[in-house]
Amino acid sequence: MKIIRDTLPVEDSCYMPAEYDKHYATIMIYPVRAGSWGVDRSGALKSMAAIYKEIMKREKLILLVDDEHMTEASRLISAIEAELVSPYPGAELISMESDDAWARDVCPTFVRSADGGVRGINWRFNAWGGEVDGLYASWERDDAIPMKLCEKRGIDIYDADPFVLEGGSIHSDGEGTILVTEACLLSKGRNPSMSKEEIEDKLKSYLGAKKVLWLPYGIYNDETNEHVDNVAAFIAPGEIVLAWTDDETDPQYAMSHADHEYLTGVTDAKGRKLKVHKLYIPEHPICIGEDDLAGYEFEEGEDERELGERLAASYVNYYYINGAILLPQFGGDNAESDKAAVNCLKRLCPDREIIGIPARDILLGGGNIHCITQQLPAAR
């Protein structure tokens, strides 16, 4: 592994592929934090096992596991392998410490180089806001993951530290356009000394982008300061899905309308007007109940849940794998909303299998399927 500090990715003709481009693997982190997944992790593990299985059918799963839980994780993966029909890409378990399981935000962002190879980017991670509004008090193990992972995998990595960024705050169309939200990237807990223009230049330099699109907002009450991956995503160059509601009393209504107005008034890096598709949020808000609250065990300095707190539920927080989409399903009184989201993506992505994953237990951790996955693009 080479740590690259003397040149920028754009100078090496690197660019960030779209998530729907072909993957070599998906990286995930085994969930153990009681403040996210509860003292009883069985619900979260059941949902994650379903995700592991679908990934392992189509591309390699790289699972980071701390030593204390390696045996437990190995047994779960072995049970999944027993259900699969050979040949399949399978899983690779890597011993690595972490503070939580949000692979999207703490793992490297990967770019493809001019010769078709893949390189990583190490951003600084500060738990979504550091001393200003970070969600836990200690994040050193998470921040160390990109360098350690690339070393273990023999992947060259660009060091963007001290620039603070999370993978969930950026989407790429693979053709030079990056999608972000102002609410997140301009928040005081990330890069407060930098102007919007300076942040944009940094993104262009590291992601090989020509244009950055700045949505005003993300999803209401999203504790990441409104990551873009919960509100909007590229389904193809020039096409975007946007989280939506027709309920004027919902706080999300005005936020999504502002995003829609912005997106319909801009062009992408290729000069194309964007085609915006509405992907409705769950009809019934998903809130923390008494049983949910009783299951958490929070560490000192960790952001805590409150009874009745509305969670940032969105179907846009889906994840592309080779040949398929893993789509959150929330169940209960949102069964019809779940079905509508499946049908919407079937229509928009007819060449992919749409696989619903029971995801309420993931949402209780604070994010969803896209937040716990990070693609490792295939080399060309």
User: What percent of the chain is modeled with pLDDT above 70?
Assistant: 100
147-162 residue pLDDT tens: 999 999 999 999 999 9
Spell out a b/e string for 37-60, using b for 16 or more CB atoms within 10 Å of the CB, else e. Answer: bbeebebbbebbebbbbbbbbbbb
What are all long-range contacts of 4-11, with beta carbons under 8 Å and residues at least 24 apart?
Answer: 4/119, 4/156, 4/157, 4/158, 4/159, 5/158, 5/159, 8/158, 8/205, 8/206, 9/111, 9/119, 9/121, 9/158, 9/205, 9/206, 9/207, 9/208, 10/204, 10/205, 10/206, 10/207, 10/208
What is the structure's pLDDT at 40?
Answer: 95
For the chain, the domain total comes to 1
Cβ atoms 46, 245 nearer than 8 A = no
pLDDT of 88-111, one tens digit each? 999 999 999 999 999 999 999 999
Separation of alpha carbons 173 and 326, rounded Å? 19
> Residue 40 belongs to what domain range?
3-377
Structure tokens at 329: 């399903």
What is the reported pLDDT for 314?
98
CA 186 – CA 46 distance, rounded (Å): 36
- Largest CA-CA distance found in the chain, in angstroms, rounded: 54
pLDDT on residue 88: 95
Nearest 5°: phi and psi at 236? Answer: -170, 160
β-strands 374-377, 353-358: how paired? unpaired
Give the pLDDT confidence of 357-374 residue by residue, as tens digits.
999 999 999 999 999 999
pLDDT value at residue 255 = 98
Query: Where are the extended beta strands (E) located within the chain?
Result: 3-4, 23-29, 60-65, 91-95, 109-112, 118-124, 157-164, 171-172, 177-181, 211-215, 232-236, 239-244, 275-280, 319-321, 324-329, 353-358, 374-377
The pair of three-digit structure tokens given for residue 83, joined into one six-digit string:
């259900």
Q: Could you tell me the CATH number of the domain that includes residue 228?
A: 3.75.10.10
**pLDDT (0 to 100) of residue 380:** 87
Comparing C-alpha atoms, which of 78, 72, 90, 75 is closest to residue 31? 72
If pLDDT is split at 50, 70 and 90, which confidence band does 119 have? Answer: very high
Distance CA 237, CA 252 (A): 26
Per residue in 232-275, pLDDT (tens digit) is 999 999 999 999 999 999 999 999 999 999 999 999 999 999 99
The span from the first CA to the last CA of the chain, in angstroms, equals 19
What is the pTM assigned to this prediction? 0.97
**pLDDT band at 183; cut points 50, 70, 90:** very high
d(CA 313, CA 286) in angstroms, rounded, equals 7
Give the span between the Cα atoms of 203 and 172, in whole angstroms. 11
pLDDT of residue 269: 98
What contacts 24+ positions apart, CB below 8 Å, involve 49-53?
49/76, 49/79, 49/80, 50/357, 50/358, 51/326, 51/357, 51/369, 51/372, 51/373, 52/28, 52/76, 52/77, 52/80, 52/91, 53/80, 53/83, 53/84
Identity of residue 93: L
The residue written with tokens 């008090």 in the block is 137
pLDDT exceeds cutoff 90 at 167: yes
Dihedral (CA of 325, 25, 28, 126) sign: negative
Catalytic residue set: 371
Q: Per-residue pLDDT for 286 more than 90? A: yes
Q: List, for residues 38-80, the tens digit of each pLDDT value.
A: 999 999 999 999 999 999 999 999 999 999 999 999 999 999 9
Amino acid type, 206: Y
Which among 321, 300, 340 has a CA at the least distance from the CA of 59?
A: 321
